[in-house]
């Protein structure tokens, strides 16, 4: 068990953790390896813990169908309580409905960010605090928290495991939520998490990961799912530079900015989706150069860090425009740090800024530190 002790020491030394004597921690459990290791290591550190799972779906899905069952198995194995909270109606009325409507508007949404904001750190955290006596909510997300005593601010950071970095997915959490949050996996790699699960003989140690949208049934593509929900609607695919119709499509919602594959267009050079006009049901295509944008606008802003605006009401940030994108240096303009709207000007043009995605800002000096984020509302194409 010396390896487990070494891992526990790493967790204690690298995290902002509450006093076990005054804490009762709800651990958000999906039934996967990461959240199962989170509850395991917290229990090993002497915390009073219980598992809690959001029941989000009726019927089969890609991750929620067996999640509750596996979470219960892990809690039984550890001898701790497990609670399931029925959020099916809220999930359907909020996350799933917004997903459909966003695609219908020509956007490309990220339902997992909205789920984190509204379900896990919204309803699940509130239920844990108010009904189950919890002091904190822990999760298996790969992210890191620190507390800045000089500003009395909880700061969100990238974790050690760069390949599993989920800080981009958590920019929407506010200070009240972050103050009650624990990320036990912040200083571990995925390989270490697997090893801890095996050392602890957890029943999910060899369970595979699921990274798909949970409410899209197994074996169904996003396009098939959206067509079933929104229905086929034929429209033109138009070359943006000339107005020439190159092909037909069966629904503009099946396309996203920057898309190349699946266009089924024979042309002298590669073409990409450069614009989606959902009202007219038109998909515009063009060259890669036509994807470049110098500016973007965002709404529903949330700043996790304390930032100072200069005399131009702006600050500099490394900006990610999608989960897997490389951060680009940009200047962010806001009327005030409490503004719900912002404008971003990239130092160098970026490719395929996509409405419905999130812009997440990182400190240009302390590049692991999240400054905040916003939902992309519009772009300015060169």
The tokens describing 360, both together, are 């997440």
* Cβ neighbours for 191, distance < 8 A, ≥ 6 positions apart: none
Residue 348's CB: how many other CB atoms inside 10 A?
Answer: 9
The whole-angstrom separation of Cα 89 and Cα 335 is: 37
Dump the DSSP string for 122-169: IIIHHHHHHHS--SEEE---S-EEEEETTTTEEEEE--S-GGG--GGG
Instruction: Please give the angle made by the CA atoms of 34, 39 and 40, to the nearest 5 degrees.
Output: 90
CB under 8 Å to 116, separation ≥6 — which residues? 169, 170, 172, 173
Secondary structure (H, E, C), 8-22: HHHHHHHCCCCCHHH
Cα–Cα separations (whole angstroms), residue 332 to 167, 173, 307, 353: 19, 20, 11, 15
Rounded Cα distance between 85 and 43, Å, is 22
Active site residue 203: no
Three-class SS of 180-219: CEECCCCCCCHHHHHHHHHHCCCCCCCCCCCCCCCCCCCC
* Catalytic residue status for 112: no
**Kind plus residue range of the DSSP H or E element containing 37:** helix 33-44
How far, in Å, CA of 98 to CA of 111, rounded?
8
Dist CA 205 CA 197 (whole Å):
5
Active-site annotation holder among 64, 75, 115, 203:
115
The angle formed by the CA atoms of residues 219, 271 and 240, to the nearest 5 degrees, is: 115
Catalytic residue, candidates 63, 64, 75, 214: 214
Please identify every residue annotated as catalytic: 115, 214
């Amino acid at each position: 068990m010396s390896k487990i002790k070494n891992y526990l020491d790493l967790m204690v030394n690298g995290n902002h953790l509450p006093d076990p004597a005054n804490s009762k921690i709800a651990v958000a459990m999906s039934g996967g390896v990461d959240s199962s290791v989170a509850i395991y290591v917290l229990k090993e550190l002497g915390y009073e813990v219980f598992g809690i799972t959001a029941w989000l779906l009726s019927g089969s899905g890609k991750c929620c169908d067996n999640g509750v069952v596996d979470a219960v198995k892990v809690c039984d194995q550890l001898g701790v309580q497990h609670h399931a909270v029925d959020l099916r109606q809220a999930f359907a009325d909020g996350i799933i409905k917004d997903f459909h409507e966003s695609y219908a508007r020509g956007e490309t949404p990220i339902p997992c960010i909205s789920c984190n904001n509204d379900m896990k750190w919204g309803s699940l955290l509130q239920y844990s605090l108010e009904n189950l006596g919890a002091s904190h909510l822990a999760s298996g997300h790969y992210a890191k928290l620190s507390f800045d005593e000089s500003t009395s601010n909880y700061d969100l950071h990238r974790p050690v495991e760069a390949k599993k970095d989920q800080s981009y997915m958590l920019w929407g959490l506010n200070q009240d939520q972050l103050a009650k949050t624990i990320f036990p996996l912040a200083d571990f790699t995925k390989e270490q998490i697997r090893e801890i699960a095996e050392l602890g003989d957890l029943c999910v140690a060899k369970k595979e990961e699921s990274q798909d949208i949970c409410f899209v049934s197994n074996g169904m593509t996003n396009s098939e799912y959206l067509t079933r929900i929104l229905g086929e609607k034929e429209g033109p695919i138009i070359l943006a530079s000339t107005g020439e119709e190159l092909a037909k499509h069966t629904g503009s919602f099946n396309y996203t900015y920057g898309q190349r594959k699946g266009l089924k267009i024979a042309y002298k050079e590669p073409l990409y989706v450069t614009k989606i006009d959902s009202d007219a049901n038109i998909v515009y295509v063009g060259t890669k150069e036509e994807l470049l944008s110098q500016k973007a606008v965002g709404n529903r802003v949330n700043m996790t860090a304390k930032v100072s605006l200069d005399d131009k009401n702006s600050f500099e940030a490394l900006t990610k425009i999608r989960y897997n994108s490389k951060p680009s240096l940009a200047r962010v303009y806001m009327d005030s740090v409490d503004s719900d709207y912002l404008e971003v000007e990239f130092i160098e043009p970026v490719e395929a800024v996509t409405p419905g995605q999130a812009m997440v800002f990182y400190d240009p000096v302390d590049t692991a530190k999240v400054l905040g984020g916003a939902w992309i509302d519009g772009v300015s194409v060169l």
